[in-house]
């Protein structure tokens, strides 16, 4: 039979403080409290401090569900997520998603992941837009010929791209990217400073604009130092065995003393070839990768690798999304961030 859960000596549940409680304690209107939570720029600094202090003292937590019903927003950011390709060492997107979730949470948003379908790359976006399930999108698929950014622009859906519009010179959408050429230039100059002059490049196929951008950093740095590049470059698929095969050919035909690779996946292939030939990474042959993956960090020798500032990318994306959603002007259509070089024993 039913009975009360209240027992002698136990405390009754405490009613959570409301917006009205905060307004009364702070001596302001309910609208002022609402502005302090949702539009702090509208308040005088002293009033904002007083209201926020009262919110902290009372432990008030805004009812996000009720606010979303009033404003017809979801406070959700949609992100199409695809698993990492098998046979690669690239888990960069995992790190980026984690950074995006953290940056979004600090800004009052949550990230909604939805699966990718290569046969219907627009379907997931269309479903979420029709159901008004998200306020905006982050697009990571900006490679040549990908339709998402163009389609979202046509739908006037708010979004920020992680990656430049490589194949669209007149694109007007906002993007954030990492300067891949600057990263490989940094890697190449590091090897030159270590005394290497025959530095080979292993990169992706020519139809990859990201790969060609990274290759340009190696090429320009070699030329700036009057070093040869003929016969020292290879373009392959981004899988470990392709990197291993390319390294074997370059070692036999061009005798490089160092390798710069477009990814840690290809660098792992080079290291595999060195292991087979009993050549010591960092002592006999230097190797540098790109992305500073977990594999690079835990490999027994330690793989030197270009590290993308994904945490900064996420913060910049969320900052820009907030400006778009509040109809504020965006400072720049494109933001290019500079990577760093994580130096380890392989170089």
List pLDDT tens digits, range 17-73: 888 888 999 999 888 888 888 778 788 899 999 999 998 888 887 655 445 434 456
Model pLDDT, residue 37: 80
Domains and CATH numbers, the chain: 19-62 (1.10.260.40), 76-178+311-337 (3.40.50.2300), 180-307 (3.40.50.2300)
Instruction: Take residue 49 and report the two structure tokens written for it.
Output: 């401090």
Mean of the per-residue pLDDT values for the chain? 86
Q: How confident is the model at residue 7 (pLDDT cuts 50, 70, 90)?
A: very low
Instruction: Take residue 124 and report the two structure tokens written for it.
Output: 């997931």
Q: Count CB neighbours of 143 within 10 A.
A: 14
The CA–CA distances, whole Å, from 54 to 7, 14, 16, 41, 42 equal: 33, 18, 14, 18, 18
pTM for the model: 0.75
More confident residue, 246 or 44: 246
Angle between helices 240-254 and 264-276 (to 10 degrees): 60
Model pLDDT, residue 11: 46
């Amino acid at each position: 039979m039913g009975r009360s859960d209240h027992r002698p000596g136990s405390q009754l549940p405490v009613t959570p403080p409301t917006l009205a409680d905060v307004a009364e304690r702070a001596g302001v209107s309910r609208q002022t409290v609402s502005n302090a939570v949702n539009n702090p720029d509208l308040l005088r600094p002293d009033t904002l401090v007083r209201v926020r202090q009262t919110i902290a003292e009372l432990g008030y937590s805004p009812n996000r569900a009720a606010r979303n019903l009033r404003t017809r927003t979801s406070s959700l950011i949609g992100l199409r997520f695809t698993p990492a390709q098998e046979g690669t060492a690239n888990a960069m997107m995992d790190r980026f998603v984690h950074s995006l979730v953290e940056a979004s949470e600090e800004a009052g948003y949550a990230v909604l992941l939805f699966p990718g379908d290569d046969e219907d790359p627009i379907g997931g976006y269309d479903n979420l837009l029709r159901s008004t399930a998200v306020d905006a999108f982050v697009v990571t698929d900006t490679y040549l010929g990908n339709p998402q950014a163009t389609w979202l622009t046509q739908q006037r859906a708010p979004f920020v791209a992680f990656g430049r519009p490589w194949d669209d010179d007149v694109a007007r959408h906002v993007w954030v990217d990492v300067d891949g050429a600057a990263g490989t230039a940094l890697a190449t100059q590091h090897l030159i400073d270590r005394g290497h002059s025959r530095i080979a490049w292993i990169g992706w196929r020519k139809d990859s604009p990201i790969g060609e951008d990274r290759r340009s950093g190696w090429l320009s740095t070699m030329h700036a130092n009057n070093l040869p590049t003929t016969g020292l470059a290879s373009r392959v698929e981004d899988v470990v065995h392709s990197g291993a095969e390319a390294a074997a050919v370059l070692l036999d035909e061009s005798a490089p003393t160092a390798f710069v690779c477009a990814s840690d996946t290809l660098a792992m292939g080079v290291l595999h070839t060195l292991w087979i030939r009993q050549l010591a990474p960092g002592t006999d042959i230097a190797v540098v990768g790109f992305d500073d993956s977990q594999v690079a960090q835990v490999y027994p020798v330690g793989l030197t690798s270009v590290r993308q500032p994904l945490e900064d990318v996420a913060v910049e994306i969320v900052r820009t999304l907030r400006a778009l959603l509040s109809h504020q002007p965006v400072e720049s259509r494109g933001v290019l961030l500079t990577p760093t070089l994580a130096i380890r024993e392989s170089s």
